[in-house]
Amino acid sequence: MEVEIFCVSRDERPNHPPIILYSPTPPFTQPVTMAAGQEYILHTPSFAVEDPDGDEIYASCNIGTCGRDPAGNFMWIFQSNFPGTYTVEILFFDIRGGEGIMKFTVEVKPWWEYPEGFLP
């Protein structure tokens, strides 16, 4: 088991970047898989981000849409009709310049690769 411990001191730096506590696919693991044409929504508890300074965190992404659910948790929405492998980068940032990047892979498969009645 691998454990990361983050220790920050408010006196150490004027601003700390947002910390990605966990993401949907840690490096070198299976990609997120979805069927072409279907909408995929990724939200908490699939990933979590916090700012050690308590700053408001914002998100931007290269593919799909970032937003928040009614509870205020981050969510990422993606839909593609085109099968293929996509590399997603979500940038989490605060207004004082701190940033953290979450990267993961999404594999969009054509509908005929799924057995009848078994679409994710």
Q: How far is CA 19 from the centre of its chain?
A: 12
What is the domain count for the chain? 1
pLDDT of 115 reads: 63
Judge whether 118 lies within some domain: no
CATH of the domain at 73: 2.60.40.10
> Of 74, 80, 75, nearest to 34 (Cα)?
80
pLDDT of 30 reads: 79
Judge whether 12 lies within some domain: no
Judge whether 57 lies within some domain: yes
Residue 29: domain span = 19-110
pLDDT of 84 reads: 95
Mean pLDDT split into 10-residue runs, the chain, 120 residues: 63 78 70 89 82 91 92 91 94 92 92 65
pLDDT of 7 reads: 62
Distances (CA, A) of 26 to 2, 69, 72, 95, 102: 12, 23, 24, 27, 9
Backbone angles phi, psi at 113, to 5 degrees: -85, -5
Judge whether 117 lies within some domain: no
Token pair of 42 as six digits: 């990724």
Judge whether 13 lies within some domain: no
pLDDT of 59 reads: 94
